[in-house]
Structure 1
Amino acid sequence: MKSLPTFVATAILSLSLAVPAQVIAQDRIAVATIDGESIWLDEIMAVAETLPPEYQQQGIAGIYDQLVDDVANSRLAAIAARSSGLDKEEDVASAMRTAADRVLAEAYITREVGKEITEEAIQAAYDTYVADTGSRETVTASHILVETEEEAKAIIDQLKDGADFAELAREKSTGPSGPGGGSLGSFGRGQMVPAFEAAAFGMPVGSFSDNPVQTQFGWHVIQVSDKGIQEAPALDQMRDQIAANLSRQSFARIVETLRVGSTVEIRPLADVMAEARQAAENAQ
Structure 2
Amino acid sequence: MSKSLSVVAVVVALLVGAAGGYGLQTYLTQSGMNGSGMIGSSTSEPQAAAEGEAGADQGDPIAIVNGQNLYESDLVAFLQRLPPQLQAQAQLLMPQILEQVVNNELATQAGHNAGLAKDAEVVSQLGKVEDLIVGQTYLQRAIDERVTDDKLETAYQKYLEENPPQRELKARHILVESEDEAKAVIVELDGGADFAELAKEKSTGPSGANGGDLPPFQEGQMVPEFSDAAFAMEVGTYSKEPVKTQFGYHVILLEESSMTEPPTKEAVEGELRDQLSQEAAEAVIAELREGAEIEILFGQQEGEAAPEGGEAAPAPENN
Give the helix-richer structure, 1 or 2. Answer: 1
TM-score for both structures, normalised by structure 1: 0.48
TM-score (norm 2): 0.44
